[in-house]
């Protein structure tokens, strides 16, 4: 049995797509997932299963529509995949505040051609002091003045990359990893 981390995109932001985490835990348990735990109200769940990450994502997306009338993308990673993404962080030397340091989870690895056309990935006066890097299927952001003041605040990463993306700050990522410890 693997421990999976589900990252549900765009729920409980403002008044739209509201789902109580207690209800989500109950429904995930009804799907047959073990030891379901949630973190915060922003759509983070950890659970044990024999399902692959892809199968779990599909089941959870269907559950959200069927049970909550909420359409939302779900990206699922194993604990090992999240640990590898954290270890690959290219911004660890400069990112000193976990609330301003972000890890974006991508549906797949974007092509080099797509990445070459994204101005926000360059280091120049237009993006400074903010930094963005893409490694494999993750986006790493450092926004020293906070995300709301960052050059990335209004970037639609889904549109720029052409694939689904969901962001979590570093504090949340490390809490999810702790929650997912075997």
Domain boundaries, the chain: 2-81, 83-169
Question: Phi/psi of residue 46, each to 5°?
Answer: -125, 135
Asked if 6 contacts 64 with a C-beta cutoff of 8 angstroms, the reply is: no
The Cα 74–Cα 57 span in angstroms is 5
In this prediction, the residues of the chain whose per-residue pLDDT falls under 70 are 14, 125, 182
Question: What is the pLDDT, as a whole number, of residue 64?
Answer: 93
- The position carrying tokens 């693997």 is 2
Question: What is the pLDDT, as a whole number, of residue 117?
Answer: 86
Alpha-helix runs per DSSP H in 31-139: 53-68, 79-87, 112-116
Asked if 69 contacts 4 with a C-beta cutoff of 8 angstroms, the reply is: no
pTM, 2 dp: 0.92
Asked if 9 contacts 72 with a C-beta cutoff of 8 angstroms, the reply is: yes
Question: What is the pLDDT, as a whole number, of residue 119?
Answer: 81
Question: What is the pLDDT, as a whole number, of residue 182?
Answer: 60
Choose which CATH entry (3.30.70.1280, 3.40.50.10540, 3.30.870.10, 3.40.50.620) describes domain 2-81: 3.30.70.1280
Question: Phi/psi of residue 149, each to 5°?
Answer: -105, 0
Asked if 105 contacts 74 with a C-beta cutoff of 8 angstroms, the reply is: no
Question: What is the pLDDT, as a whole number, of residue 3?
Answer: 95
Local structure of 55: helix, strand or coil: helix
């Amino acid at each position: 049995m693997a421990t999976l981390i589900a990252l549900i995109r765009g729920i409980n932001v403002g008044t739209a797509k509201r789902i109580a985490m207690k209800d989500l835990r109950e429904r995930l348990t009804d799907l047959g997932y073990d030891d379901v735990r949630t973190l915060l109200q922003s759509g983070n769940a950890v659970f044990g299963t024999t399902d692959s990450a892809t199968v779990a994502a599909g089941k959870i997306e269907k559950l959200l529509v069927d049970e909550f009338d909420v359409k939302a993308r779900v990206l699922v990673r194993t604990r090992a995949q999240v640990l590898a993404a954290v270890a690959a962080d290219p911004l660890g030397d400069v990112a000193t505040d976990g609330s301003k340091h972000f890890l974006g989870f991508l549906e797949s690895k974007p092509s080099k051609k797509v990445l070459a056309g994204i101005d926000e990935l360059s280091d120049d006066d237009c993006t400074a002091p903010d930094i963005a890097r893409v490694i494999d299927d993750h986006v790493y952001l450092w926004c020293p003045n906070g995300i709301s003041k960052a050059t990335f605040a209004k970037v639609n990463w889904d549109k720029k990359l052409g694939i689904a993306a969901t962001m979590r700050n570093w504090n949340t990522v490390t809490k999810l990893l702790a929650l997912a410890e075997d």
